Chains A and B, each alone.
Chain A
Amino acid sequence: MDCFGLQASFGNGSEKVTTGEAASQLMFFPARIDWLKYSTPQAGFHLAGGLVPWFFALAALLFVLGVGVGLCIAPASERQGDIARIVVLHVPAAWTALVIYLSIAFWAVVGLVLNTRLSFMMGHALAPTGALFALLALITGALWGKPASGSWWTWDARLTSELILFFLYIGYIALHSAIDDTRRADRASAVLILIGAINLPVLYFSVLWWNASHRGIPLALPDVADMAPLTIAATLLAAAGLWAYGVAASLLRLRCIALERERDADWALDYAAGQ
């Protein structure tokens, strides 16, 4: 707060000149003040702790509902039969891997521009979960590909860019752990994630650009026409569930990272003593 001089001008009522300026700042930039309030590791730690149970509950509800409807209630695909039900597992996992990468890129930009420690921590809290979902997208994709097209793997654009996504996650995590100076590691890995973001449009639009059907598996919107409405609804529910899970797992990891990096701070020692 006090880095914008607000506390000083409001704390002392006799400073008539600056109060007006500060009030106009408050009116026009309220978001700025809230952001700063939550940008310290300590504030992030406690905020995350309150949100985790809600996101886990939301994740369990949406994912079980989506998968239940998709596997047990929705009609089988006319073209592929029951194997296409795997869409309610595969597509949400692939979307989650993509969305988590986008989130890390967002926090990398915020961290590089504003130099806030919590932003970099958010990136590294998200990365292992993103890598896990990229791997799950590859595994569930192979489990779909084998019976549907006869092979576990082909080097088509969609599969290859999904594999590159997985390697980018691993590279981001490995680069960070290879540099001892945490702040330097934060910046280097943030730059890597932004360079790797070039893979995202390739991954998303590969189905359209290379005119490959991705074996009839939808991810880009034009392909959705092949699916039954109930299957689409189930896929969206399961995807929302996995996103909520990703938020919950990342916030749990954020709490670990905040404690690890702030291990000399009083608040961290106080918290550990209370556990």
Chain B
Amino acid sequence: MSGAGWNEVLHMGGYGVYVWGACLAIAVALLAEQVLLRWRRRSILDHLGQSGARTENDDETPS
């Protein structure tokens, strides 16, 4: 596609802000969801790691 063609696609007949804004909204929302999911996974894994370590220490404690 030529340079003028790209400008046309970006301009969207004057509606570029709306169309690309909608595109951006979806991209930002999905990326944010993935970041939140990653944090949630990290947090539960850290929690499990700590309680796992505690259990091992408990096992080693002489009764």
**Interface residues in chain A, defined as those with a beta carbon under 8 Å from any beta carbon in chain B:** 67, 71-72, 76, 81-83, 85-86, 89-90, 93, 128-129, 132, 135-136, 139-140, 143-144, 146-147, 245, 249, 252-253, 255-256, 259-260, 263, 268-269, 271-273, 275
Contact = CB atoms under 8 A, between A and B. Distances in A.
A83 B33 contact: no
Interface of B is mostly: helix
A227 B44 CA distance: 47
User: How big is chain B's contact interface, by range?
Assistant: 20 to 34
B18 A146 contact: yes
Interface of B: 1, 9, 12-15, 18-19, 21-23, 25-26, 29-30, 33-34, 37, 40-41, 44-45, 47-49, 51-52, 55
Contacts of A259: 41, 44-45, 48
Contacts of B29: 132, 135-136
Contact of B52 (A140, A146, A253, A272): A272
A47 B57 CA distance: 32
Contacts of B12: 71, 82-83, 85
A60 to B, nearest CB: 10
B23 A90 contact: no
Given A132-B29, A259-B44, 7 more contacts: A82-B14, A83-B13, A128-B33, A143-B18, A245-B30, A256-B44, A271-B48
